[in-house]
């Protein structure tokens, strides 16, 4: 059966190993919580890795104030797969955040753990080490890229395959279980969770760098892999999809102005239902937020999202962001502010781990009862670089932001061409 891409094929293929069972229940006056032991799939077989059978704990929290029954929240979580011993079964303490969110939003929260299953040993790995997190992803990328033009050409080796399928199976299991206990079954899920240049590769890219992935930077092999696992390759499927991207300004993995590469096209693809929230002075673990909770509630209640768009401009002396928010039926902004920061190292366009993002007054123009325009202009620094963005605030502590604009529009190094081994910085 062919659904479109190898990822479609893998996720939609029937798997006889899929099953779940209830292993624990917590009852409280404010909620009921259920812990499922989920087997999501068999990923390839024992000849490829030490963990072909993927198992997970799935926590389902049903609040007593359940009012949003049609939409549930799926939180994609990590965790160690040594859970077979039963020592790490989620407790009432460990599910406290899920309980808090469920009570706040009045909806079911499903927490999927062990994404990915880890640790794993790969049989073709000479080091025979137990790999976790990015070490696993890097090794499966290497396996795919190194063998792309050889006899072994199996896209199912990519770790994103079982990770994605596990998420789908968790939603299936949650719906099946909720139906069994005669609670209204959610028909939609809002999916959330945490992730996964600088004259060199960021230190956070170490696991990929060590596997020599960077030498494939301009190769057809990497392009083929991106067509399978890069969300941008699926951009034509995002029409009317509501997306909220939350990112720290000091992220160790991603440049603060990465959106410059895709945000406009994403906006065209969704029809403008993509929103951005940069969290000042936060790194890769930006964490959960009231913005995410508000976003969920608006989706579950079929409320119209605020329309927030902006234009960025640069010249030889300064940069400007002009942002417009339109809220005919949705949230009304209570205030707005700008944020700016200067690179700590004057020789690198580098904002990683920076905690010096400070507030900046911006200009505001009320166009009419539903439209406000904000403007922020920053002059080029004498040395180094400055980054800045506009944040609009809502009365319930939710925020939206523009992209980050960096001035001056220059880089300390040229493009990396061909095999970009480079260095870590």
- On whether both 179 and 277 belong to a single domain, the answer is no
Q: Is there a domain that residue 205 lies in?
A: no
Which residue, 170, 196, 222, sits at the end of a domain? 196
Note whether 412 and 347 are within 8 A (CB).
yes
Q: Is there a domain that residue 337 lies in?
A: yes
- On whether both 156 and 266 belong to a single domain, the answer is no
- On whether both 285 and 189 belong to a single domain, the answer is no
Cα–Cα distance measured from residue 245 to residue 277, given in angstroms and rounded to the nearest whole number: 6
What's the pLDDT at 3? Answer: 53
**The model scores a pTM over 0.85:** yes
* Main-chain phi, psi angles of 286, to 5 degrees: -60, -25
Cα–Cα distance measured from residue 331 to residue 394, given in angstroms and rounded to the nearest whole number: 7
Which residue, 143, 171, 196, sits at the end of a domain? 196
* DSSP code per residue over 366-416: E-SSSEEEEEEEEEPPSSS-EEEEEEEEETTS-EEE---EEESS--SS---
Q: 133-146 vs 220-229: helix axis angle to the nearest 10? A: 130
- On whether both 186 and 124 belong to a single domain, the answer is yes
Residue 151 sits at the vertex; the CA angle it makes with 149 and 157, to the nearest 5 degrees, is 80
Q: Please report the beta strands in 19-83, taking only residues with DSSP state E, as ranges in sequence order.
A: 19-27, 31-42, 53-63, 68-76
Q: What is the CATH number of the domain that holds 361?
A: 2.60.40.10
Q: Is there a domain that residue 311 lies in?
A: yes
Which residue, 172, 196, 220, sits at the end of a domain? 196
Q: Extract the residue ranges of the chain whose pLDDT is less than 70.
A: 1-3, 82-87, 148-153, 195-205, 286-288, 330, 396, 415-425
The alpha carbon of 360 is separated from its chain's Cα centroid by a whole number of angstroms, namely 28
- On whether both 183 and 268 belong to a single domain, the answer is no
b/e map 132-170, b = 16+ CB within 10 Å? bebbbbbbbbbbbbbebeeeeeebbbbbbbbbbbbbebb
Q: Is there a domain that residue 359 lies in?
A: yes
Q: Is there a domain that residue 213 lies in?
A: no
- On whether both 258 and 182 belong to a single domain, the answer is no
Cα–Cα distance measured from residue 275 to residue 266, given in angstroms and rounded to the nearest whole number: 10
Cα–Cα distance measured from residue 102 to residue 96, given in angstroms and rounded to the nearest whole number: 10
Q: Is there a domain that residue 221 lies in?
A: no
Q: How many Cα atoms are found within 13 Å in the side-chain-facing hemisphere of 173? A: 30
- On whether both 147 and 295 belong to a single domain, the answer is no
Please report, for residues 35, 326, 335, 384, the alpha-carbon distance to residue 25 in angstroms, rounded to integers and kept in the order given: 6, 45, 44, 56
What's the pLDDT at 289? Answer: 75
Cis bond before residue 408 (omega within 30° of 0): yes
Q: Is there a domain that residue 168 lies in?
A: yes
Note whether 38 and 11 are within 8 A (CB).
no
User: How many domains does the structure of the chain reveal?
Assistant: 2
- On whether both 259 and 177 belong to a single domain, the answer is no
b/e map 97-112, b = 16+ CB within 10 Å? ebbbbbbbbbbbbbbb
- On whether both 393 and 302 belong to a single domain, the answer is yes
Cα–Cα distance measured from residue 30 to residue 96, given in angstroms and rounded to the nearest whole number: 12
Note whether 131 and 120 are within 8 A (CB).
yes
- On whether both 111 and 42 belong to a single domain, the answer is yes
Q: What is the chain's alpha carbon radius of gyration, rounded to the nearest angstrom?
A: 23
- On whether both 266 and 156 belong to a single domain, the answer is no
- On whether both 188 and 298 belong to a single domain, the answer is no
The alpha carbon of 15 is separated from its chain's Cα centroid by a whole number of angstroms, namely 26
Structural domain that includes position 286: 230-410
Look at residues 51, 56, 25 and name the one whose alpha carbon lies nearest to residue 39.
Answer: 56
């Amino acid at each position: 059966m062919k659904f479109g891409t190898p990822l479609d094929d893998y996720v939609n293929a029937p798997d006889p190993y899929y099953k779940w069972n209830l292993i624990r229940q917590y009852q409280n006056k404010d909620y009921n919580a259920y812990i499922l032991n989920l087997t999501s799939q068999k990923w390839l077989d024992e000849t490829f890795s030490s963990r072909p059978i993927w198992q997970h704990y799935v926590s389902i929290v049903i609040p007593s104030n359940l009012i949003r029954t049609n939409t549930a929240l799926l939180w994609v979580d990590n965790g160690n797969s040594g859970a077979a011993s039963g020592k790490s079964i989620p407790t009432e303490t460990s599910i406290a955040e899920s309980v808090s969110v469920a009570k706040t939003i009045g909806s079911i929260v499903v927490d999927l753990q062990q994404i990915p299953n880890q640790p794993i040993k790969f049989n073709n790995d000479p080091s025979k080490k137990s790999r976790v997190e990015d070490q696993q992803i890097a090794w499966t990328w290497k396996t795919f890229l190194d063998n792309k033009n050889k006899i072994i050409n199996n896209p199912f080796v990519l770790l994103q395959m079982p990770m994605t399928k596990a998420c789908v199976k968790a939603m299936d299991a949650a719906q099946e279980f909720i139906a069994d206990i005669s609670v209204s079954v959610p028909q939609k899920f809002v999916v959330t969770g945490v992730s996964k240049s600088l004259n060199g590769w960021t230190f956070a890219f170490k696991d990929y760098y060590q596997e020599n992935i960077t030498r494939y930077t301009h190769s057809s092999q990497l392009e083929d892999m991106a067509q399978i696992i890069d969300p941008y390759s699926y951009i034509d499927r995002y029409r009317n999809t509501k997306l909220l991207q939350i990112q720290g300004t000091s992220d160790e993995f991603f440049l603060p102005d990465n959106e410059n590469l895709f945000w406009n096209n994403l906006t065209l693809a969704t029809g403008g239902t993509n929103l951005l929230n940069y969290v000042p002075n936060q790194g890769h673990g930006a964490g959960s937020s009231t913005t995410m909770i508000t976003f969920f509630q608006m989706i579950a209640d079929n409320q119209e999202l605020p329309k927030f768009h902006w234009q960025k401009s640069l010249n030889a002396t300064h940069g400007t962001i002009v942002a417009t928010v339109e809220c005919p039926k949705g949230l009304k902004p209570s205030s707005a502010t700008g944020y700016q920061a200067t690179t700590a190292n004057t020789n690198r366009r580098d904002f990683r781990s920076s905690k010096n993002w400070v507030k900046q007054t911006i200009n505001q123009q009320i166009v009419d009862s539903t439209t406000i325009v904000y403007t922020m202009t920053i002059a080029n620094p004498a040395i180094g670089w400055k980054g800045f963005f506009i944040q609009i605030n809502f009365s319930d502590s939710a925020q939206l932001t523009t992209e980050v604009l960096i001035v001056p529009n220059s880089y300390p190094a040229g493009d990396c061409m061909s095999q970009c081994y480079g260095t870590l910085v």
